[in-house]
A and B are shown apart, each in its own frame.
Chain A
Amino acid sequence: MADTPAVASIAIPVAPAAVPSAPRRPFPRVLQLMWRERTARLALLFLAVLLVAAIAAPWLAPFDPARLLDTSAGAEAPSVAHWFGTDVSSRDVLSRMLFGSRISLAIATFSAVLASGLGLLYGGAAGFVGGRVDGVMMRLVDALLAIPRLLLLLTVLALWGSVGVRSLVMILALTGWFGVARLARVEASSLRRRDFVVAARALGATPWRVFVRHVLPHASAPVLVATTIAIGQVIVLEAGLSYLGYGVPQPTPTWGNIIRDGRDSIATAWWLTLFPGLALVGTALAVNTIADRLRAVLNPRQLPAP
């Protein structure tokens, strides 16, 4: 449910004729415009800190995330030694969360980028070819979008059995490209008849060149926003799958796995649910905020005149 706004915003097709060509702002300018708003600034800072923490996890983590510190003690409440407490197997939760952020962020980023690439290629091809092929290709996307993603994932996991991190990234990417395909298709099919594309083709440009030089840059703005939203969705989705016990296999620490470790002792060891959950909420909130702001920055009609 947390991904509902994203679903809606991806799925609403923009009227092709009315869309002005996406402005091609240089990246530093985009960052500068994002930085102007306070909440976006906070979100960027939060993600930057998280990224640094994830990269520097081996140096920052006070304990070895896999070490069973005191097997007789069980889960210990937060203390000076263990800021976020220890889990049922007596492992330091803060250290596990630091290492977990690496896995969570990496899985989400890789699979969201991969999914967007797939969607761009598929939707771009459909919109570009047009006609009956386009119709058939997009009806397939309609059907894929009608299957709740979580259930599609559960079906794949039930059939394939347990999966490793790499397969999980692949499965998440393969179930995440449908929305982007729709976006890319709208852009590509509206460009197909535009004069400059017709001219490029008349000059002998291959379809691939036209796609890379003309379609891709025009589709980049909405796809960038959709990818950002997808990163937030996948972080939450992966945590959910891990919670159910079908995400990244134990004992690899991920935020979802830590919450799962605490599911039987939720009444006593609340810190196992609270801290990784807050990390999830903060990250999802930051990513959504950035996506919102990115949408405004990339669509100049929504910004007040400078």
Chain B
Amino acid sequence: MARSSEIGSVHLGVTAFLLRRLLQGVAIIFTVATITFVLVHAAPGGPFAGQLDDARFTPAMREALIRRYGLDQPLPTQYVRYMGRLARGDLDVSLAQQRPVRTILAETIPRSLLLMSVALLLGFALGIVAGALQAARRDSWLDRQVGRISVALAALPDFWLALTLLLVFAVRLRWFPVSGMVDDALHEYLSPVGRLRDIAWHLTLPAATMALIIAAVVARFQRQALLDVMPDDFIRSARAKGATERSIVLHHALRNALLPTITLFGMALPALVGGSVFIEYIFAWPGMGRAAVEALGARDYPVVLGTTLVSSVLVVIGSLVADLLAAAVDPRLRHG
């Protein structure tokens, strides 16, 4: 390739790469929406089985429900209408709460994102540090112990770890609150700083639960990724240059070993969102996952469906972010 066009082609490469990923993401979300449509209509009795059988529903109300959702229309028409509503961001109305699902999600998603992002940051930081320590002192006592702990942690069911931490640190030791996001009685009367501290105090246990499991998985990946790059030429050069083992791990290997961890982040997202449902439910964190579980109890399927759809969108956005991060860390991806 001619040298003059190289810079241009690099830019084109990044844009084309991102554009392709974006289109893939849109296609995935479109397919997810179609899957949910099929699910709703494949359910025994159709979307309003519970409501239509309810004796309290008068025939007129039933009629209105059917007309409102176009259940008397042919399926393709219903499908087009359904997708049209989704495209406008209309996620239907909650059956139990009588308000738009969009409003419920707008309230709960930021709380879920707060919990997840704190847990992710903590978990990745802890995991990368642990993995780097293990790789730097390979086969030492420390390596083996940290390895054992992370294997055990990664095998812990998230809901059980949450219950155990709750039992020990909230119920027995009373260091942290048992549930909720704020102190219901006091929060209103606190100063802005006091309010933040109140939220942080409530956030600690749920975020720590998620972070511990994330860290365990990240540490295993990070250790292996570091050991994988250690035999590479650039590490040998650094060593020949006289760099200390510590600086080799920190400056040379870590940067190169970050890629598998970022890829891991993209792939772990669905499990992470799923796991947050349990954590939110157990610690009564008023997020999206808890809303879904509560809606499930009321067979309030629009809320559950909305949560599922939005979670999938979050997952798709998350993997896009992971791709961007990977491209930022690894020039080969940018130029390739």
Interface set of A (CB-CB < 8 Å, partner B): 1-5, 7-8, 11-12, 139-140, 142-152, 154-161, 232, 236, 239-240, 243-246, 259, 263, 266-267, 270, 273-274, 277, 280-281, 284-285, 288-289
**Given contact pairs A2-B156, A146-B312, A8 touches B163 in the complex (Cβ within 8 A):** no
Other A-B pairs, 5, CB within 8 Å; known A7-B267, A148-B311: A7-B268, A151-B274, A154-B296, A239-B160, A288-B151
B160 touches A277 (CB 8 A): yes
Which of A4, A160, A236, A288 touches B272 (beta carbons < 8 Å)? A4
B167 touches A273 (CB 8 A): yes
**Chain A residues with CB under 8 A of B47:** 159
Q: Among A148, A273, A284, A288, which residue has the most Cβ atoms of chain B within 10 A?
A: A148
Which of A146, A147, A232, A273 touches B163 (beta carbons < 8 Å)? A273
**Given contact pairs A1-B210, A139-B27, A155-B39, A150 touches B268 in the complex (Cβ within 8 A):** no
Q: Mark B258-273, 1 if CB is under 8 A from A, else 0.
A: 0000011001101111
**Given contact pairs A4-B154, A149-B270, A158 touches B296 in the complex (Cβ within 8 A):** yes
**Given contact pairs A8-B268, A244-B293, A277 touches B163 in the complex (Cβ within 8 A):** yes
B270 touches A146 (CB 8 A): yes
A159 touches B40 (CB 8 A): yes
Count of chain B residues with a beta carbon within 8 Å of a chain A beta carbon: 66
**Chain A residues with CB under 8 A of B155:** 2, 232, 281, 284-285, 288
User: Which A-B residue pairs are the 8 nearest by beta carbons?
Assistant: A150-B274, A1-B275, A143-B31, A159-B43, A148-B274, A285-B155, A1-B213, A148-B270
Report B5 CB to chain A, min CB distance, Å. 30
Q: Among B40, B47, B268, which residue has the most Cβ atoms of chain A within 10 A?
A: B268
B39 touches A2 (CB 8 A): no
8 A Cβ contacts from B260-299 to A:
263-264, 267-268, 270-275, 277-278, 281, 292-293, 295-297, 299
A255 and B154 CA atoms in complex are apart in Å by 19
Please tell me if B304 contacts chain A, counting CB pairs below 8 Å.
Answer: yes
B156 touches A281 (CB 8 A): yes
Please tell me if B322 contacts chain A, counting CB pairs below 8 Å.
Answer: no
Between A and B, 6 residue pairs with Cβ closer than 8 Å are A2-B275, A146-B315, A152-B308, A160-B43, A232-B155, A277-B157
**Given contact pairs A154-B304, A240-B159, A4 touches B213 in the complex (Cβ within 8 A):** yes
B315 touches A148 (CB 8 A): yes
B166 touches A266 (CB 8 A): yes
B273 touches A151 (CB 8 A): yes
B273 touches A148 (CB 8 A): yes
8 A Cβ contacts from B209-239 to A:
210, 213-214, 217, 220-221
A155 touches B157 (CB 8 A): no
**Given contact pairs A157-B296, A244-B293, A273-B163, A144 touches B35 in the complex (Cβ within 8 A):** yes
Interface set of B (CB-CB < 8 Å, partner A): 24, 27-29, 31-32, 35-36, 39-40, 43-44, 47, 49-50, 151-152, 154-160, 163-164, 166-167, 171-172, 210, 213-214, 217, 220-221, 263-264, 267-268, 270-275, 277-278, 281, 292-293, 295-297, 299-301, 304-305, 307-308, 311-312, 315-316, 319
**Chain A residues with CB under 8 A of B163:** 259, 263, 266, 273, 277
B28 touches A266 (CB 8 A): no
Which of B159, B164, B275, B308 touches A154 (beta carbons < 8 Å)? B308
**Chain A residues with CB under 8 A of B268:** 1, 4, 7-8
Residue of B nearest to A145 (CB): B270
Report B136 CB to chain A, min CB distance, Å. 22
A239 and B162 CA atoms in complex are apart in Å by 14
A143 and B315 CA atoms in complex are apart in Å by 10
Residue of B nearest to A153 (CB): B274
**Given contact pairs A1-B213, A244-B293, A159 touches B157 in the complex (Cβ within 8 A):** no
Which of A8, A144, A150, A289 touches B267 (beta carbons < 8 Å)? A8
B271 touches A1 (CB 8 A): yes
A159 and B163 CA atoms in complex are apart in Å by 28
Which of A147, A236, A289 touches B270 (beta carbons < 8 Å)? A147
**Chain A residues with CB under 8 A of B44:** 160
A150 and B293 CA atoms in complex are apart in Å by 11
**Chain B residues with CB under 8 A of A236:** 157
A280 touches B157 (CB 8 A): yes
**Chain B residues with CB under 8 A of A139:** 27-28, 31
Residue of B nearest to A246 (CB): B296
Residue of B nearest to A289 (CB): B151
**Chain A residues with CB under 8 A of B277:** 148, 150-151, 154
**Chain B residues with CB under 8 A of A157:** 296
A161 and B32 CA atoms in complex are apart in Å by 21
A246 and B297 CA atoms in complex are apart in Å by 9
A148 and B274 CA atoms in complex are apart in Å by 5
